Structure formats: C-alpha cells, structure tokens
Amino acid sequence: MSEESDQNLNPNEEHKHTITPINGLYENWFLDYASYVILDRAVPHIHDGLKPVQRRIMHSLKEMDDGRFNKAANVIGNTMKYHPHGDASIGDAMVQIGQKDLLIDMQGNWGDPITGDSAAAPRYIEARLSKFANEVVFNPDTTEWQLSYDGRNNEPITLPVKFPLLLAQGAEGIAVGLATKVMPHNFIELLDASIDSLKGVRPNILPDFFTGGAADFSNYNEGQRGGKIRVRAKITEKDKKTLVITEVPYSTTTSSIIDSILAANDKGKIKIKKIEDSTAAHVEIIVHLAPGISPDVTIDALYAFTACEVSISPNTCIIQGDKPHFMSVNDILIENTKHTKSLLKKELEIRLHELQEKIFFSSLLKIFIQEGMYKNPEYENSANFDTVVEVLHLLFDPFKPSLYREILPEDFKKLIDKPMSSITRFDVKKADEQMKNLEDEIKVVKNHLKHLTDYAIAWFQKLKDKYSKGRERKTEIRLFDRVEASKVALANVKLYMNREDGFIGTGLRKDEFIADCSDIDEVIVFREDGKC
C-alpha cells in the first residue's frame, strides 16, 4: 500500500474535536446561563422598568391595538413570536401587569391579589392598552429595535417610557446569584418627586402599597440591601368582643392572614372564639374574641404572632448598560427623570424636523407653481429624470438661499409626481396660511427645546392632572413601637417541678404545679446556696 493511501485511511483525523475538560464546559455553560437569567429573565431595565417578558407583552398589545379588547389568549399567542419560554410564563406576567391597574384595561375575572384568588383562564379574560400606556409608553420613532429570538420579527430593546414606571409598579425577580425586590411607590408622589428633581431638589420617596395598611419606613435605606420595612394590617376595635381587619400588609392575602391567626390560636398565643371572612369589594376579616380577653392586648398579640405584621427586605437591583446594578430608589428616580427629559428632547427634535420638511416642500411647491416651472419648455421636453433634475436645479437657483436645506433629487421627484389637477387647483392664499401655521408651530417647538426643563416639568404636571384621580396614598406612614412578645403572650402552658429529681418543665403533669406561663417565658431557678 502506498504512503498516500496510508494517509487516507483516516481522512477525518485532522478534524477531530478538541478535547475540553468537563469542568471547563460546565464553567462556561453556567456563566452563559447566569448572564441570560439576569439580563433576559428576572431583572427589570432601569429605563422602562420592565422585564423582557413584560416588554414583549406590551409590544404585542400595541401591535394588536385597535381600541377594542383582545382575548388574553390571543395576546399570549402573539407574544410568543417574541418570547421563547411558553404561554404559561406570558399569561402569569400579563395577569400581574393587569392587576397593577396602570398599563392594561381589563375585562373579565383577572383575580384578586388581596384575597389570593387567581385569574380565569386566558380564553375567558380580555385586555387592551390603557390610555396612560398609549400616551406614555410607546413611540416607534424613539424606540431602539432588535431582532426577535428567531430573527423573524423586530422587538424593542427597551420601550421609550416617559415616567418612572419601575418605581410605580415595583418588581420582584430571582436570578443566579442575585435577586431584586423593588417596592411600588405612589403615582402622584413619583410625579411630584420628578418635578422636584428637575428643579434640583433631591427626591426622598417612600413605598405605597395597594393593600393599604400602615408601614414603618425608618429603616428603608432608600430601598437598598440591608433595609427593612415593617408593614401592619389595619385593625380596629368594633366592640369589646370584636376586632375588624380592613386592610392587610403588602405581600400577604386575606387567606394567609386568617391561616396565621388560626395557627396562633391553636398554639395558644391568642384566644379567639371564631373568625369570619366577609371580604367582598373591600377587606373585612372579623375576629370574635374569647370571653374575658382584652381587645388591646389581642391587637398587639396579632402583630406579634401572626401575619398582621410582616417585615419586608427590599433589594433594588436593575439592569443598566447591560449589567446589573444596585441603586437606591431615589437615584433610580433621578435617572428616570433624566431619561424622560432626553426622550422628550428627541420627540421635539423629530417634530421640528417634520415641520421643517413640511414647510420646505410647501415652499418648493409654491415656487414651482407660481413661477410656472411646470410650463417651462426645457422642463416639458426633458427626456429623462436626470435631465429634469438639471433643469429644475437651474430654475430654482435664485430661490435656494431662502430654503433651509439643499434640494435633493428625491424632492424633485415628489414635485413631478404631483398630478396636474392639484397643480391647477393650487390655492396660494391657503398655502400661505398653512405655511404660517407651520412656522408658528416651529417657533413653539424651538421654544420648548430652548426651555427643555420647563417643558419636562409641564409634561409631569400634565400626567398628574390627567391620571392621578383615585391614586392617592393608601399606606399610612408611621413609626411603630416594638411589640414585646413576652408581654402580650397568653399563659398557654402550665409549669411543673419535680423537686426530688431536680426537673422542671411543662410536661411533668404528675408533679408539683408551679404557675401558668407562656411557652416563651424564661424561668429562673434559685438554689439554696443562692446560685441560679
């Protein structure tokens, strides 16, 4: 066998895969996965306040928007063109957006986050964009686009939201190695704080929960890691035997509140006769006390031993510049306000360009008709478009200094495409009036650009005037006294002692009874020699 044939025995020898250790593969795969979960799943972007699935739902709703309600199932199906993770995650995210009652108008049973009731199936509920969303969230001219996951469609990188949406809605997400928990804030207070920020005053915003209740924000730490919020239900004394809970803490439901009260009663922490859930349009949990039990002590015990008081640890993490960042809510508001101002500037610049183009072409058309250029023999006898351009350039030469930009061939194309009927019916007076209106609007736009801060302040004020009805603060800001569990705990166990063997406890029922106590009391025993 020849040397050449020997070399061809294994023609794929040189194409063998490079051997990579398994630990190296897992390291790379883990980093890719972690980066994907952080950037594309769990953490919202600072500019529009949305996670990718939420952004795709909003884009899909805008794409389908005709002013009428759409079946949620149809919206989910359309969103799957942009979101590769299935209909369940899209449906859950859509319900969460709807329940926040800002971006989506809802029809049907969308569930109730206060009672914990889930929404009906997507085929039974409908949605459309709210007026607020249409005005504040979208503008295709200022949106940056990218290809969808399969390359078939374009989707927004971020939506051009002109409002601190992240702080209004809040956000929660768990990624690899980090988590985010942004508290929702009050709509009106955010707009006021944005105006203050534009005036050079540093904002100081505090959360506001749709569930109401009262909250102690003394350790809020501007929403950063290490901060803590204490939130309490609103409990009132109806009479000496009855308490009524009318507002629940954020992150709880009426069901979880009732379960925690029953559990505390079973453990002897509190003593109640019965509990009724009369919640309908508003929360109403009625707690009937056992005979001889103090309502005031029971209220403190409810805060100490049940979900009527919860502690929430915020952790404000956002995506900025394709990286996760930990920021205070006040710094996020300042950044959102700056971003809104820059978007308003872009919109004004785009509008100015549109107006200038309109007045430019109107001027061209007026000159073209008034000077009778369309009757010029050289123009009429031009053999091709290039010749037409040359002739028109010569004819327009005396008028070029009065135009705001150079005349391009496509401008001439628009002129010669004008039908003769519109040329013969041209009304000079009407054209002058339209141009005057355009010039007046240009002056207004230029004035807004010159005084951009005032224009941005007016924008936030307009949103406040237009959409703030019914969005007053729901959560009362308070400083709570610490409830000492040992002082409100009921004596729910009996203490016994076996003197002979030296034992003491609650299970020695055949031995000497010492006292009634609670299961969190501390027992101190003194011996004859004075030691304890």
Give one word for 502, left, alpha or beta, with left for phi > 0 and alpha for psi -120 to 50: left
Look at residue 420 in the predicted model and tell me its pLDDT: 86
167 near 333, Cβ under 8 Å?
A: yes
Res. 447: pLDDT tops 60: yes
Given a cut of 60, whether residue 105 has pLDDT beyond it is yes
Express each pLDDT in 176-222 by its tens digit: 778 899 999 999 999 999 999 999 999 999 999 999 999 999 999 99
pLDDT at 140 (0 to 100): 95
Neighbours of 178 (CB within 10 A): 17
* pLDDT attached to residue 152: 94
Q: Which residue has the higher pLDDT, 35 or 390?
A: 390
Which residues are CB-contacts of 71 (< 8 A; sequence separation ≥ 6)? 122, 123, 125, 126
| Residue 531 pLDDT greater than 70, yes or no | no
Q: pLDDT value at position 2? A: 47
CB count in 10 Å sphere of residue 342: 16
What does pTM read for this prediction? 0.84
Tokens representing 427 are 């009304």
| Token digits of residue 406 | 């150079």
Contact between residue 213 and residue 496 where contact means Cβ atoms under 8 Å apart:
no
- Compute φ and ψ for 281, nearest 5 degrees: -70, -30
Torsion of the alpha carbons at 61, 66, 70 and 75, rounded to the nearest 10: -30
Show the tokens assigned to 490. Answer: 């009921």
Choice between 327 and 515, residue whose per-residue pLDDT is larger:
327
Is residue 517 within 8 Å of 486, Cβ to Cβ? no
124 catalytic residue (yes or no): yes
**What pLDDT, on a 0 to 100 scale, did the predictor assign at position 4?**
46
**Which residue of the set 26, 33, 36, 124 is catalytic?**
124
What is the rounded CA–CA span in Å between residue 140 and residue 343? 12
On whether the CB atoms of residues 249 and 235 are closer than 8 A, the answer is no
Phi, psi of 428 (to 5 degrees): -65, -40
Report the distance separating Cα 362 and Cα 364, nearest Å.
Answer: 5
- Beta sheet of 104-107, edge-to-edge order: 70-71, 126-129, 104-107
Query: Phi and psi for 332 in degrees, rounded to 5?
Result: -65, -40
Mean pLDDT of 276-300: 92
pLDDT at 428: 87
pLDDT of residue 254: 96
